[in-house]
A = this chain, B = another copy of it.
């Protein structure tokens, strides 16, 4: 059996309660006594039994994370940010992948509830409405970290997908592109994808370009799907001059297809991605994209969740992380003059 507080108490010659007080930094204990106890703790290499403490206090310092497709670079960084900030705030992480299946999500939700998690971060989104009901019912503090949730009660952290997608199309149209095709996400999937779609539509309307649903090819955020989407696009719409993929991996897949088939990028076809993953700086051509930080997203999610757990007053339960359009080699730059007309929107232009 492991060392318990009892052993520590005996060795230090004090009572259980005193040991407990020392361990919890209670002020009502004489320094001398505290010292004795600490010595005993060290000597026995005592480790607290978390289960007993949780049983008694009903708080676990555990945060649950349910995600899907977390192997994607952007989301892997999100997880990293979550982990780092959670550790910082004294939480441990219990992590489950739902594969985007509602049943698995429910399942993990149950497991996590049984473990008395203090809060939960949801990165999976397919069935977020159903999920929300369960979570609300469970009364566990929750933060969504993969899109804007309109329900005013639900806290979420996200990039402004609508604005970001708008920026992309705005830039492209100002650069003279009139025939643009899009590689979107699975219809059932990420909220983010739907929001990006909204941003695109908005920008098209403002540029007085027609909206043609046929030009939105569905991908699943993988390289492979970007590759085959590009193939479909070029076959169906040979007059296309630009492709906007809703994430960087699909954009890279599309670039591979285009170059393989003799298209010059950006001169024949301009390509834009979304997310700003590291890879985009090392492709040839380098990738124009919307840069957002997954790490930041994770960090902010924990920050928000922590406040909710601590029942602090929130300024706002909808948090946006910054994004920038980073213009690299995969599209032609706007001239300084053209650029000036949108300068106010803080579009970053760089070769980096």
Contact = CB atoms under 8 A, between A and B. Distances in A.
Contacts of A44: none
Contact of A92 (B52, B96, B255): B96
A348 interface: no
Contacts of A79: 70-71
A163 interface: no
A93 interface: yes
Interface in A72-124: 72-73, 76-77, 79-80, 83-84, 87, 92-97, 104, 108, 110-111, 113-116
Contacts of A83: 95-97
A284 interface: yes
B87 A77 contact: no
A77 B84 contact: no
B84 A76 contact: no
Nearest to A56: B51
Contacts of A95: 83, 93-95
Given A51-B51, A71-B79, A279-B279, A115 B97 contact: no
Contacts of A324: none
A223 interface: yes
A207 interface: no
Given A50-B115, A283-B283, 5 more contacts: A47-B110, A49-B55, A50-B51, A87-B104, A255-B282
29 contacts: A47-B110, A47-B114, A48-B114, A49-B116, A50-B114, A50-B115, A50-B116, A51-B52, A51-B54, A51-B55, A51-B60, A52-B55, A55-B55, A71-B76, A73-B76, A76-B76, A80-B97, A87-B97, A92-B108, A92-B111, A95-B95, A223-B279, A223-B281, A224-B278, A253-B282, A256-B283, A256-B284, A259-B284, A284-B284
A-B pairs, 6 with minimum CB distance:
A51-B54, A71-B76, A256-B282, A50-B114, A51-B55, A51-B51
Interface of A: 47-52, 54-55, 60, 62, 70-73, 76-77, 79-80, 83-84, 87, 92-97, 104, 108, 110-111, 113-116, 222-224, 227, 252-253, 255-256, 259-260, 278-279, 281-284
